[in-house]
């Protein structure tokens, strides 16, 4: 294997053709005699040819790439970092002709999301990054886009029955297992009574976290006793009331595991009732709402999912995909899960 920097120019010389022809062969643009194409490809392989991305990016400025992004980020602090990742990618790939069109929405209305999809299609995008609502209408609409040649990557949450290119987000089952691992560390072999506050039993990710939690408890931490599972519907006030009633009901409660939102309410309730730090609280994500409670010890630990990468990676992947026609290695990329405790902030 010869290790040397080769250019399309050298390949052309070696093959006795023009650079345009090399370009056609290497990028499968067609309209080229197959023997010639084969010969060129063979030479490229033998010389270890690798296309130069700087040159590629520079040339790409002539037909810029437009990528749409749709996030339900309004009024949801979690998405701040996702947007940060989107913006970082936009800045980094701007020089290579990438333009990002960001559209945000509040909550999870299917009609709102459909409207934003239509809006972006009118903007002539070639790629779409979306945190989709897992709903048939959305799936149909996305599949239509895909048939029209727009490539779709789902971020943060996935959607079933679509031909999206890739999902970028957390491994929800694993994140539940990690929660159990932390609780097991605290239990330290002693019996531990706990309840689970989930967001909604209709949300796939929340259920997957419970599944993971149960799995790990069964496998490694038999002393952990799950007394009950309640829904907060991601609402702060619901979580507050729920927490108050739970404290009332289970006098020997050691811990609470929250799979989803409403964290501020539960924290407030623990503080108001004098149980802060006494009943251990484990949560997911770290937002401006929950951070102070991690600082002051109301939350023992929280499990994060690298929101920045959930914004950054999809853009980067679409950019690479359009630039060198390489599909992602897998149809799902799990972002890193990490554990935050007070000292890590």
Write out the residues near DNA by the rule CB under 7 A. 5, 7-9, 16-21, 23-24, 26-27, 30-33, 36-37, 49-52, 54-56, 58-63
Is residue 1 at the binding interface for a second copy, with CB under 8 A as the rule?
no
Is the CB of 204 or the CB of 339 nearer to a second copy?
A: 339
Query: And the tokens for 242?
Result: 């729920």
- Cα–Cα separations (whole angstroms), residue 297 to 121, 270, 271, 293, 303: 47, 11, 10, 6, 15
> Least Å distance between CB 27 and DNA?
5
> Least Å distance between CB 65 and a second copy?
13
Is residue 19 at the binding interface for a second copy, with CB under 8 A as the rule?
no
- Cα–Cα separations (whole angstroms), residue 82 to 66, 130, 155, 175, 308: 19, 11, 9, 18, 5
Q: Report the residue from 18, 52, 288, 326 that binds a second copy according to the rule CB under 8 A.
A: 52
Can you name the residues that pair with 230 across neighbouring β-strands? 197
Q: Answer with the entry of a second copy, DNA, none that 9 interacts with (C-beta below 5 to 8 A by kind).
A: DNA
Is the CB of 64 or the CB of 292 nearer to DNA?
A: 64
Q: Classify 215 as helix, strand or coil.
A: helix
Is residue 83 at the binding interface for a second copy, with CB under 8 A as the rule?
no
Stretch of 90-98, 137-145, 226-234, 237-245 contacting a second copy, by CB under 8 A: 90-98
> Least Å distance between CB 144 and a second copy?
32
Q: Answer with the entry of a second copy, DNA, none that 289 interacts with (C-beta below 5 to 8 A by kind).
A: none
State how far the Cα of 79 lies from the Cα of 130, in Å rounded to an integer.
12
> Least Å distance between CB 311 and a second copy?
17
Is the CB of 58 or the CB of 344 nearer to DNA?
A: 58
Is the CB of 42 or the CB of 50 nearer to a second copy?
A: 50
Is residue 101 at the binding interface for a second copy, with CB under 8 A as the rule?
no
> Least Å distance between CB 56 and a second copy?
8
Is the CB of 238 or the CB of 300 nearer to a second copy?
A: 300
The terminus-to-terminus CA distance of the chain in angstroms comes to 48
* 216 exposure class (CB count in 10 Å sphere: 0-12, 13-18, 19+): buried
Q: Report the residue from 33, 42, 53, 249 that binds a second copy according to the rule CB under 8 A.
A: 53
Of residues 201-240, which lie at the interface with a second copy (CB under 8 A)?
216, 220
Among residues 31, 36, 33, the alpha carbon closest in space to that of 11 is found at 36
> Least Å distance between CB 7 and DNA?
3
DSSP E strands: which ranges in 49-150? 65-74, 98-106, 127-130
State how far the Cα of 289 lies from the Cα of 247, in Å rounded to an integer.
22
For 280-302, b/e burial (b = at least 16 CB within 10 A) is bbbbbbbbebbeebbeeebbbbb
């Amino acid at each position: 294997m010869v290790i040397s920097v080769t250019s399309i120019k050298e390949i052309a010389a070696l093959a006795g053709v023009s650079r345009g022809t090399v370009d056609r062969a290497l990028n499968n643009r067609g309209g080229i005699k197959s023997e010639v194409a084969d010969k060129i490809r063979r030479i490229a392989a033998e010389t270890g040819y690798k296309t130069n991305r700087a040159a590629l990016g520079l040339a790409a400025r002539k037909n810029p790439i437009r990528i749409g992004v749709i996030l339900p980020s309004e009024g949801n602090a979690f998405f701040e970092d996702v947007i940060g990742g989107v913006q970082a990618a936009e800045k980094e790939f701007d020089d290579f002709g990438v333009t990002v069109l960001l559209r945000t929405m509040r909550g999870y209305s299917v009609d709102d999301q459909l409207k934003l999809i239509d809006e972006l299609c009118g903007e002539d995008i070639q790629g779409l990054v979306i945190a989709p609502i897992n709903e048939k209408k959305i799936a149909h609409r996305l599949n239509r886009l895909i048939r029209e040649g727009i490539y779709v990557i789902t971020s943060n949450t996935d959607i079933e029955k679509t031909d999206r290119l890739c999902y970028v987000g957390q491994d929800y089952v694993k994140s539940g297992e990690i929660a159990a691992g932390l609780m097991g560390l605290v239990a330290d072999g002693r019996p531990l009574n706990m309840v689970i506050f989930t967001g909604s039993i209709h949300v796939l990710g929340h259920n997957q976290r419970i599944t993971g939690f149960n799995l790990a408890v069964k496998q490694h931490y038999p002393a952990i006793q799950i007394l009950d599972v309640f829904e907060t519907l991601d609402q702060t006030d619901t979580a507050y009331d729920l927490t108050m009633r739970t404290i009332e009901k289970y006098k020997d409660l050691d811990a609470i595991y929250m799979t989803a939102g409403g964290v501020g309410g539960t924290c407030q309730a623990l503080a108001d009732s004098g149980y802060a730090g006494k009943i251990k609280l484990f949560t997911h994500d770290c937002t401006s709402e929950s951070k102070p409670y991690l600082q002051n010890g109301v939350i023992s630990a929280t499990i994060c999912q690298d929101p920045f990468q959930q914004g950054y990676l999809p853009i980067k992947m679409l950019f690479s995909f359009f630039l060198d026609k390489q599909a992602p290695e897998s149809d799902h990329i799990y972002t890193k899960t990490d554990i935050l405790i007070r000292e890590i902030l």
